[in-house]
A and B are shown apart, each in its own frame.
Chain A
Amino acid sequence: MNDKTFAIKIDGVTKRFDQKVAVNNLSLTVNSGEIFGFLGPNGAGKTTLVKMMNGILTPNEGIISIEGINPFEKPAVAHRYMGTLTETANMYEYMTGEENLYFYGSVFGMDKAVLKDRIEELLEAVDLLDDKDKKVGDYSTGMKKRLALARAIIHYPKLVILDEPTSGLDPENARKINSLIKEYVATNNATVFICTHQLRYAQDICDRYGFINKGHIICTGTLSELIEKNSFSNNIHLKAKLGCPNKLLDQFKIQEEIYQIPFTDEEEIAELIKSVVVDGGKVYEARLKRPTLEDVYFSLLNEEAS
Chain B
Amino acid sequence: MSKSVLAIIIKDLKYILRSKQLIALMLLVPLVLTVIMPSIFVIAISNLQVNMEDFKAIIEKVVGKENVELAYQKQLIISYFLNNILPVFFMLIPTMMSTIISSNSFIGEREKHTLETLYYSPIKVRDIFIAKNVVSICLSMILNFAVFIVMTVIINIVLLAVGMPAFIPGLKWLIVILCTSLAITIISTGIVVSKSNKSDSVEEAQQSAVFIILPIIGLVVGQFTGFIMISKLILAIASLIFLIISVMVLKLLSNKNDYYA
Contacts and interface: CB of A to CB of B under 8 A. Distances in A.
A79 interface: yes
A109 B15 contact: no
Interface in B99-155: 112-114, 116-124
Nearest to B127: A76
A108 B259 CA distance: 18
A90 B118 CA distance: 9
30 contacts: A54-B119, A56-B116, A56-B119, A56-B120, A56-B259, A57-B260, A75-B259, A77-B122, A79-B121, A82-B120, A86-B120, A88-B116, A89-B113, A89-B117, A90-B114, A90-B116, A90-B117, A91-B114, A92-B11, A94-B18, A103-B7, A103-B11, A107-B7, A107-B118, A107-B123, A108-B121, A108-B122, A109-B2, A109-B4, A151-B117
Nearest to B119: A56
Range of interface residues on A (Cβ < 8 Å):
20 to 34
Contact of B120 (A79, A94, A95): A79
A260 B118 CA distance: 52
Max count, chain A CB within 10 A of own CB: residue among B18, B120, B121, B122:
B120
Interface string A89-117: 11111110000000110111100000000
B119 A107 contact: no
A282 interface: no
Contacts of A103: 7, 11
A104 B120 CA distance: 10
Interface in A103-151: 103-104, 106-109, 151
Interface string A254-280: 000000000000000000000000000
A79 B124 CA distance: 10
A80 B122 contact: yes
B124 A76 contact: yes
Nearest to A112: B3
B114 A88 contact: no
A55 B116 CA distance: 12
Interface string A68-81: 00000001110110
Lowest 6 CB-CB distances: which A-B pairs, in order?
A106-B7, A56-B259, A89-B117, A90-B113, A79-B122, A89-B116
Contacts of A56: 116, 119-120, 259-260
B113 A106 contact: no
A93 B119 CA distance: 18
B92 to A, nearest CB: 30
A6 to B, nearest CB: 21
B3 A109 contact: yes
B45 interface: no
A54 B120 contact: yes
Contacts of A80: 122
Nearest to B109: A92
A86 B116 contact: yes
B43 interface: no
Interface in B1-33: 2-4, 6-8, 11, 15, 18
Contacts of B15: 92, 94
A277 B47 CA distance: 118
A170 B123 CA distance: 34
Interface string A45-70: 00000000011110000000000000
Contact of A89 (B6, B18, B120): B120
A104 B123 CA distance: 11
A84 B8 CA distance: 19
